[in-house]
Amino acid sequence: MGAIPDIPWALSRRLHVDEQALTAESTSITDAAALPLLTRLAENGGANASRLLAAHPEWVSILRRAQPGAIATWWNALPPATAAALVSATPAVIGNLDGVAIASRLAANRARAAERVEELRRARLEASALAERLGPSLRIPLAEAKVRVRELDLEIAYFEAVRDGRKQLYAWDPDRGSLIEMSGDPSQATSALFVVPGTNTRAASFFGDEPITRFADWQSSTAHGSAVSFTVMTGPMPQLSEIPLGGGPQFNTYASQRAPEYADFVKGIEATRPDLWTMSYEHSYAGAIGSAAEAYGGIVNARFMAATVGAVGPYTPASETQYFAAQAPDDINRYYAGLRLADLGFDVPPESFPGVQIVDSRLPGVNPQNLIVGGTMGIVSDSIGHHNALMSDDERINGTVLNSVSSLLLTEGKAT
């Protein structure tokens, strides 16, 4: 366990706890610290919550370490007026607290999006003014300034969509590198899909005309209300640009860092909507995150590993989870599947998981084990393209996998 932020423990012991509201016995030392603080925030209908957090910013880290089930018990016991007051007064906390009701988190983050739009507009004015002051002789600074303006335009458009209710933001914490967008309406859903993109995912991946959410959007749209989908980034993901700097997706350390966060997300959905059948669709590097998250309690009904790296061994699948795997015959990950040395690589390929069901991706290509050494760069390029195809929402490219996932969400969701 990492160090808990400095707070006088005697203070948390002196805070009044409403035993009627907190009926579930805690088994976590972090719950023992967090629950009295939550009770304190809710006192007087939440009227003092903002002031308390301003005076004690270290409380936020303690609250986020509490188990989502304990948070859900506390939240569900609040009077509606108190819950609404906390959403309004402390949106950055409520909007990122696993175990809080989905609708309340969306409302909190929608309010935050409105504020973010105004911040971004001010930043754009400054960036635009800078670009105008730079003469044509300063080509590189001028180009950089124009790129910054375009980036701000994309981010403004995204948060305007959240503010206006055209996009649904379930979590957003730029300091921790998280952004989770929801697609669909959970009120009538019988199943939930968690799409976890892999390498090169960042906040900007959610912006623009071709966002990373397209696979999840397609699933929710096709389900006609029976499935709700989340595109999940709980923290910084490996970037190919980090390779020259000694980082990148070849290191398995990102998986161990993201795993507890992803487990908390899964447990948060389970705590708020225990009736949902859940599937994790993990692409590329995200497969290692889903595998590692199981040890932290991030257990779903099914995992669909789409061109993933697999797991860091030793690894034992969860007995209550169904496992599916799909990748192109020439997927780029096949070139180093099963290879690991300490923090480098992943030694348990997804297709080797006991009981895994292999889904034919219907993508072209030749397994690299069958190629003569010294292939062309075009072969590698195709391997990367086929790897990325498993995040496509185009049925002409990825129809087999799209429909396989859709069928599971529909049939298994109805069976719950």
Give buried/exposed letters for 254-278 (b at 16+ CB in 10 A, else e): bbeebbbbbbbbbbbbbbbbeebbb
User: Do residues 388 and 197 touch, judged by C-beta distance below 8 A?
Assistant: no
**Same domain, residue pair 21 and 119:** no
**Same domain, residue pair 125 and 28:** no
**Same domain, residue pair 247 and 342:** yes
3-state secondary structure of 31: helix
**Same domain, residue pair 355 and 214:** yes
**Same domain, residue pair 111 and 256:** no
Dump pLDDT digits (tens) for 40-68: 999 999 999 999 999 999 999 999 999 99
DSSP string covering 258-297, please? HHHHHHHHHHHHHHH-TT-EEEEEEETTHHHHHHHHGGGT
**Same domain, residue pair 109 and 141:** yes
**Same domain, residue pair 28 and 121:** no
**Residue 132 pLDDT:** 76
**Residue 135 pLDDT:** 67
Please, what sign has the CA dihedral across residues 71, 167, 391, 357? positive
The structural domain count of the chain equals: 3
Neighbours of 2 (CB within 10 A): 7
192 inside domain: yes
Residue 3 in this model has a pLDDT that exceeds 50: no
Contacts for 250-257: CB closer than 8 Å, 24+ residues apart: 250/344, 250/345, 251/343, 251/344, 252/288, 252/312, 252/340, 252/343, 252/344, 252/345, 252/346, 253/343, 254/285, 254/288, 254/289, 255/285, 255/288, 255/289, 255/291, 255/292, 255/312, 256/292, 256/312
Q: Give the pLDDT band of residue 352 (cuts 50, 70, 90).
A: very high
**Residue 414 pLDDT:** 83
Distance, CA of 13 to CA of 67 (rounded, Å): 18
How far is C-alpha 16 from the geometric centre of its chain's CA atoms? Answer: 34
Dump pLDDT digits (tens) for 106-160: 999 999 999 999 999 999 999 998 877 776 667 777 788 889 999 999 999 999 9
Dump pLDDT digits (tens) for 273-312: 999 999 999 999 999 999 999 999 999 999 999 999 999 9
**Same domain, residue pair 25 and 57:** yes
**Same domain, residue pair 319 and 354:** yes
Dump pLDDT digits (tens) for 385-413: 999 999 999 999 999 999 999 999 999 98
Residue 213 in this model has a pLDDT that exceeds 50: yes
143 inside domain: yes
**Same domain, residue pair 342 and 232:** yes
4 inside domain: no
162 inside domain: no
Tell me the pTM.
Answer: 0.89
Strands 191-196 and 227-233: parallel
374 inside domain: yes
Task: Name the token pair of 3.
Answer: 């160090």
% of the chain exceeding 90 in pLDDT: 78
**Residue 144 pLDDT:** 87
Tell which of 70, 94, 118 closes a domain: 94
**Same domain, residue pair 128 and 200:** no
Residue 353 in this model has a pLDDT that exceeds 90: yes
Distance, CA of 32 to CA of 93 (rounded, Å): 19
**Residue 17 pLDDT:** 37
Tell me the residue range of the domain where 201 lies: 174-415
CA atoms within 13 A on the CB side of 247: 12
User: Do residues 273 and 306 touch, judged by C-beta distance below 8 A?
Assistant: no
349 inside domain: yes
What's the whole-number mean pLDDT along residues 231-255? Answer: 95
**Same domain, residue pair 64 and 19:** yes
**Residue 335 pLDDT:** 83
Q: Please enumerate in sequence order all residues whose Cβ is within 8 A of that of 124, keeping only pairs 6 or more positions apart, or say none.
A: 149, 152, 153, 156
How far is C-alpha 229 from the geometric centre of its chain's CA atoms? Answer: 11
**Residue 336 pLDDT:** 83
Dump pLDDT digits (tens) for 305-331: 999 999 999 999 999 999 999 999 888
